[in-house]
Amino acid sequence: MSSPEGGRPAYVDVTVVEFAAHTAYLDPATGIGYLVLPRADSDVDALSDPLVEAAWSERLSDFGDTPRLSLHTADRRRALDHLGAAGWSLLRDEAGDVEVAGRTSDDRQAVCIYGPPTMEPPTLEALDYAIIALDMAANLHPHSHCNETSAPWPD
């Protein structure tokens, strides 16, 4: 985030990380971001073809032992592992439910994530600007977060 004279941010630098079905929008300066989930109706079930399983097995001894994951489940795990390696995590409320940021214009759910801020400590003004920039980058409906309480998060 850049600050011209007067201390007001001039811009928020949103980092976009795209996975197969999920997209993360991050503001490293404040340590806040969103993970946009894919539409549930676009999921692809795990294949049960033995030849495909054999091709995906790293070793012959792994054949048949690998869990069958849908595209969304496998991609969600990959996204959370990748983001977690950089210090980013899902934001959970007091009950342990994932905090919802809102819904995109194509009706995908966005959940809140947080990471280590590069700005110490982020000001309320910087957080406000970051949320506005993240909403715009992720194409969230204005105030859509007001209509949801928490995200159903499959394991």
pLDDT of 106 reads 92
Domain chopping of the chain, boundaries: 15-151
Residue 123 has pLDDT above 80, yes or no: yes
Which residue has tokens 């399983």?
Answer: 53
Higher-confidence position of 8 and 108? 108
Residue 88 corresponds to which amino acid?
A: W
Give percent above pLDDT 90 in the chain. 53
pLDDT of 110 reads 96
Cβ count within 10 A of residue 103: 20
Q: Which residues contact 42 (CB under 8 A, 6 or more apart)?
A: 21, 72
Residue-wise pLDDT for 24-73, tens only, equals 999 999 999 999 999 888 877 776 656 556 555 555 455 455 566 788 88
Tokens found for residue 47: 């294949």
pLDDT of 92 reads 94
pLDDT of 145 reads 55
Measured in whole angstroms, how far is the alpha carbon of residue 105 from the centre of its chain?
Answer: 16
Residue-wise pLDDT for 71-85, tens only, equals 888 889 999 999 999
Higher-confidence position of 35 and 12? 35
Instruction: Report H helices in 4-151.
Output: 50-56, 71-85, 124-138
Residue 147 has pLDDT above 50, yes or no: no
Q: Which residues contact 151 (CB under 8 A, 6 or more apart)?
A: 37, 97, 98, 99, 100, 109, 111
